[in-house]
Amino acid sequence: MKGYLDRIEENQYAVILVEAVNKEFIIHKEKLPAGSSVHSWFDVTLEDGHITGLTLNEEATASSEQKVDNLTQKLRNKSRSKFKKN
């Protein structure tokens, strides 16, 4: 299943959201795979309600970043319209 690094709290805890089980997990940020950053996606292994495995999913992370970039560009283009907004 997939997980998303939502945020780092107190500069030491990583909050990972796992939508498949509708739950957030808090782990020490040192347990994150190398190259992880806020908004990274992971392949997550859960056992007995705990994360037992995390692998950085670079493809899902890049795809998500591209979608955000595309939406941001669309919004910027709309704000440059020559038409007045009501």
pTM for this entry:
0.73
* Exposed/middle/buried for residue 60 (C-beta within 10 Å: 0-12, 13-18, 19+): middle
Residue 23 falls within a domain, yes or no? yes
pLDDT at 41: 94
Residue type at position 1: M
Residue 84 falls within a domain, yes or no? no
Residue 86 falls within a domain, yes or no? no
Residue 52 falls within a domain, yes or no? yes
pLDDT at 17: 96
Residue 10 falls within a domain, yes or no? yes
User: In this predicted model, what pLDDT tens digit does every residue of 36-85 receive, in sequence order?
Assistant: 999 999 999 999 999 999 999 988 777 777 777 777 787 777 766 565 65
Residue 64 falls within a domain, yes or no? yes
Task: Show the domain range for 33.
Answer: 2-79
pLDDT at 84: 61
Q: How confident is the model at residue 31 (pLDDT cuts 50, 70, 90)?
A: very high
Give the count of domains, the chain. Answer: 1
Residue whose entry in the numeric block shows the structure tokens 């970043």: 65
Neighbours of 44 (CB within 10 A): 21
Residue 85 falls within a domain, yes or no? no
